[in-house]
Amino acid sequence: MLSTTTSQNAGQGVREITLGQAIREALAEEMRRDPRVFMMGEDIAEAGTPFKVLSGLVEEFGTSRVIDTPISEAGITGMGVGVAMTGMRPIVDIMFGDFIGLAMDQIVNQAAKVHYMSGGKLKVPLVVRTTLGATRRTAAQHSQSLHAWVSHIPGLIVVLPSTPYDAKGLLKTAIRDDNPVIFFEDKMMYQLKGPVPEGDYTIPFGVADIKRPGNDITIVATSSMVQIALAAADGLEKLDISAEVIDPRTMYPLDRDTLIDSAKKTSRVIVVDEGYERYGVTAEIAAVVADGAFYFLDAPVKRMGAMNVPVPFSPALEDLTVPTADSVMEVAKTLCGRV
């Protein structure tokens, strides 16, 4: 499969912008396109969020469409479900992914259930934007990557963009989708630059992107771990190991075919994700690969995630809890019999 990053860029004015700018651009374009789209969240208007991702939007769209709310994650998410059911297309901003715990009933028992439980009559076109990712030195309650929680729940779409291009295209798709979408942005990647077309384009859900083609080993990586995997692939190239890096982009729907095809081709697979390794999305992806490519595999599918420990504050400790290019390279070398 061709990388959509190269195939869809042709023809439009492409600039290098940051992931944060790509998010802002997607939001602004969608709010211009559709008057039903609006945002609500804590400190999103004048403050533009603590990450400054939304700076400037309130100036264009006003406080009736960029709404500062009380610090009430459950309340604003629940209201997001209600507004979405009745003709609006809300985007609820949950500052840190760690805080979705407070909104979990609204996400899991309300947003995810309404469409099915009503026999398909009611729809919840809600987007919850939130963040993931460690190494910001913000300790155990501001550093988790909790996308596995919602990926477990039927009725939710879960999106993890890893590049500015993907972020813009996937966010537009999320806003136009009639299902609740939980959209996780890596807070450490907001400054990451990449090519992004001006104007409108969307990226379909459930289509993985091959970020780097290769033949000897497949590294399936999500969100923050895609850059890690690409750096590992660079290092492996010097050792004459050709690594293919695949980003599923959406945890659900999951592009099983692209993952399985790559595994069949390379016969070795590592899955890298920043969520806790225990019961994480890596386990699901590894199971999908093992099931679909069993007779083609030359080694067990390896999972790499965050260490199973509350994220420590001390930088020296924190850095030990997440996969790095070096640790991914080591595992890849082992799988390829190069120790």
Contact characters 99-138, another protein, x per CB under 8 A: ------xx--xx---x-xxxxxxx----------------
- Candidate list 28, 75, 135, 207; residue touching another protein; CB under 8 A: 75
Based on the shown chain and the rule CB under 8 A, indicate whether residue 76 belongs to the binding site for another protein. Answer: yes
For residue 253, cis peptide bond before it (omega within 30 degrees of 0): yes
Gyration radius of the chain over CA positions: 19
In whole angstroms, the minimum distance from the beta carbon of 223 to another protein comes to 28
Measured distance CA(154)–CA(140) in Å, rounded: 28
Which residues face 129 on adjacent strands?
93, 183
* CB contact set of 105 (below 8 Å; sequence gap of 6+): 74
The structure tokens listed for 183 are 């959209």
Residues with catalytic function? 142
- CB 95 within 8 Å of CB 71: no
The residue (of 90 and 248) whose beta carbon lies closer to another protein is 90
Specify the 3-state DSSP secondary structure of 9.
Answer: coil
Give the rounded distance of the alpha carbon of 88 from its chain centre. 24
The residue (of 82 and 235) whose beta carbon lies closer to another protein is 82
The residue (of 44 and 114) whose beta carbon lies closer to another protein is 114
* CB contact set of 314 (below 8 Å; sequence gap of 6+): none
The residue (of 38 and 276) whose beta carbon lies closer to another protein is 38
In whole angstroms, the minimum distance from the beta carbon of 60 to another protein comes to 17
In whole angstroms, the minimum distance from the beta carbon of 24 to another protein comes to 22
Based on the shown chain and the rule CB under 8 A, indicate whether residue 235 belongs to the binding site for another protein. Answer: no
- CB 131 within 8 Å of CB 51: yes
Give the rounded distance of the alpha carbon of 125 from its chain centre. 18
The CA–CA distances, whole Å, from 75 to 40, 62, 68, 103, 247 equal 11, 22, 13, 8, 33
Nearest to 299 by CA among 257, 252, 338: 338
The secondary structure of 149-180, three-state, reads HHHCCCCCEEECCCCHHHHHHHHHHHHHCCCC
In whole angstroms, the minimum distance from the beta carbon of 187 to another protein comes to 25
Stretch of residues binding another protein (CB under 8 A), selected from 70-78, 208-216, 258-266, 311-319: 70-78
Based on the shown chain and the rule CB under 8 A, indicate whether residue 231 belongs to the binding site for another protein. Answer: no
In whole angstroms, the minimum distance from the beta carbon of 152 to another protein comes to 18
- Candidate list 28, 47, 88, 207; residue touching another protein; CB under 8 A: 88
The residue (of 70 and 337) whose beta carbon lies closer to another protein is 70
Contact characters 17-56, another protein, x per CB under 8 A: ---------------------x------------------
User: Which residues in this chain contact another protein in the complex, by CB under 8 A?
Assistant: 38, 64, 69-70, 72, 74-88, 90, 105-106, 109-110, 114, 116-122
